[in-house]
A and B are shown apart, each in its own frame.
Chain A
């Protein structure tokens, strides 16, 4: 027996040697380590092909990652997580906070030497708003006066409040005072486009090349679809002295295990969020080794209740279900990414009080009180008499584990039995959006750094992202008032009050606030990940 094994192993070895001998490739073609300087070349994984590098068409985080580093808006989110002057040198805001006049820097230019003009912004924004161009994120521009009407074909694009006064002055008129407008001008839908080129070549953004001009810290050197994007330092960028990286290679590998293996093997300098992912199984080991870095981001994982069906139309039943959850245990045992238990709907990056939330986690006693009250209101004597409750989620290992844990908690703590129902992503979305569900998992990641972004969707029962069928006149009033309020503190308080109303009615049971988790090589510094989880390489460097 022993002999057979050794023969078997030697055959395996032989086979692998034969195969190895077939290879003649070379891996060490780098060379050229000129002097003591560390090469400023970054290798990251961006998971997938960016669906579009035209800022007017982009609608996903992968495209956003590339765009944020090659193009630059009027403002850019700085290292303090606040919008800072970028293409715009400075700006004036009118008394009523509705008109913004941006002065574009004199030395702002495109990578082909063209100056960056106010018209480039006007062109880009109006292009996205033009109903003839299939821009999904056109609604990100709806804060501008007349934008929504123009995009719905009810008014002309000429009536939209975007005006290039002269070559370097852009005047923007908003529909309402929007205190976070300078955040928005850093968002990718608000990025400029070289209008001279785009007018001549409508397909300018489909490949790297002379027509893909950039005005940001890097330019697009190579775009091999579904494979790799290479960015190189731009020498026409106004702030080029700050930029230290010479080259960024972005690979498209859609497998978290491979990503981590490549990182361990030195083929990547960064693995994990926000551009890639860390396999959940590896999380604990990396944490134990002290290599895992964690940062809270503006996002929340929710269980939404359909408040139009029995028994979830009962407020006390909803509260009972929400209070009976042990969020800490879900985080420690399933997600494992140091997420924060959510007992509020607005992430603590915006409302720091929400680190505590509105009620204690795993409060089974209170949950039971709510349950008794709810049952009484429904005229039932025991939880087992409740109509069947179905918990829906889209097919995914983590969602499934969480749902199973929740099912167990509800049965254990309240005696309420729920059935689990998983479906393929599109099928799931279809049933949630048509109201054909009872409890459904949904996540929300902030688009801009303001609490409004997490409350607005619950304003109207028939709003596209509400799903719960819940609305409240008091809540609506507070949100409306906050839109015209120009005093920042008062406005914050109004939103806070609105959240309190929401949490008191509990149409949604928040589970946890998202975090980004990553590992990076030790000598890489100053990669900036914002509170929204967006990454910028402008300041990054190797030591």
Chain B
């Protein structure tokens, strides 16, 4: 196990280096620069700024400086937001995105699994049709439409929640639901189909013939196996929710990191692009590793060490 994790960590470092390198070069190939605006700067001012941020150095020097910054975890100042460093942006923005993401994942998993199980147990009955209708809606309605819809009905019409901003728990509910709707629907469908498959297995019949109660069979025997695909999906889901929160953060005026992840590219804010990309990459690589480990724990048939011989 330790050996396996060590090996995975090594692969992670290599992936990270590849990501850093690719981002660095793609960023520099893209036309434009951080100082471009509708009003062009006098050349001596632009030259002065280039020199100040070290953009006049040869590319290999900049690349090297950058790698050093990653290792020491000091990404320097933001080009655009002069009162903050990239580290500030990450340490202030990430907790917000994290809470939002966590809330969304909890909603998505809890309700997704619940709906999926109900649908499977009542296959081809009205419960099945109605939950799956909701699921299709959840998958096909984009999050920004969902967000506006929620704002209009629950905030403006019914006055239950505030329209936007990030202050109290009440402020977090609408954005979390909007962000969770898509994944929740996907999980519901995933759970339903794998649950139906599992319920048709012989060992479920055996359990039934032993006289076990319906609840025990569903939770202990069927769900444990049926949830495997859901666990697999958690890795990409974390990625999707973290990087996909941009739209939701924008609509609800939430001071999260997803916003910087996207706008830094339009601004050509080089240091923020690199800092946020590296940060997200580490996070996602770790999330995938955790999912793989969790997979082995839930399903004893999977050996993390790989082939039997090892």
Contact = CB atoms under 8 A, between A and B. Distances in A.
Contacts of B44: 151-152
B30 A426 contact: yes
A49 B253 contact: no
Given A134-B52, A251-B253, A261-B163, A427 B30 contact: yes
Given A23-B170, A225-B255, A226-B255, A442 B41 contact: no
A53 B83 contact: yes
Interface residues of B, number: 62
A11 interface: yes
B165 interface: yes
B75 interface: no
Interface string A1-43: 0001001100110011001101111110000000000000000
A191 interface: no
Contact of B133 (A8, A23, A59, A253): A8
Contacts of A257: 148, 251
Interface in B200-251: 250-251
A462 B251 CA distance: 42
A52 B42 contact: no
Contacts of A356: none
B192 interface: no
Interface stretch (B16-24, B32-40, B274-282): B32-40
A258 B82 contact: no
B41 A25 contact: no
Interface stretch (B149-157, B292-300, B301-309): B149-157
B168 A26 contact: yes
A429 interface: yes
A24 B170 CA distance: 7
Instruction: Give the interface residue-count category, chain A.
Output: 35 or more
B140 interface: no
B173 A23 contact: yes
A51 B31 contact: no
Centre residue among A138, A227, A267, A425 by max chain B CB count within 10 A: A227
B32 A253 contact: no
Contacts of A135: 45
Given A4-B126, A225-B92, A252 B266 contact: no
Nearest to B147: A258
A4 B130 contact: yes
A464 B40 contact: yes
B31 A258 contact: no
A261 B38 contact: no
A517 interface: no
A25 B126 contact: no
B129 interface: yes
Contact of A261 (B164, B177, B259): B164
A424 interface: yes
B63 interface: no
B31 A426 contact: yes
A443 interface: yes
Contacts of B169: 23-25
B161 A258 contact: no
A42 B252 CA distance: 20
A297 to B, nearest CB: 15
A254 B253 contact: yes
Nearest to B152: A261
A226 B160 CA distance: 25
A426 B32 contact: yes
Centre residue among B39, B148, B161, B266 by max chain A CB count within 10 A: B39
B286 interface: no
Contacts of B134: 8, 11-12
Contacts of B83: 51-54, 205-207, 225
A465 interface: yes
A152 B51 CA distance: 13
Given A206-B83, A258-B163, A427-B32, A27 B170 contact: yes
Interface of B: 30-33, 35-45, 48-49, 52-53, 80-84, 88-89, 92-93, 111, 126, 129-130, 133-134, 148, 151-152, 154-156, 159-166, 168-171, 173, 177, 250-253, 255, 259, 266, 268
22 contacts: A7-B126, A12-B134, A20-B173, A26-B168, A26-B170, A49-B81, A51-B82, A52-B81, A139-B41, A206-B83, A225-B88, A225-B89, A225-B92, A226-B93, A226-B259, A264-B156, A265-B163, A426-B31, A427-B30, A433-B36, A464-B43, A465-B39
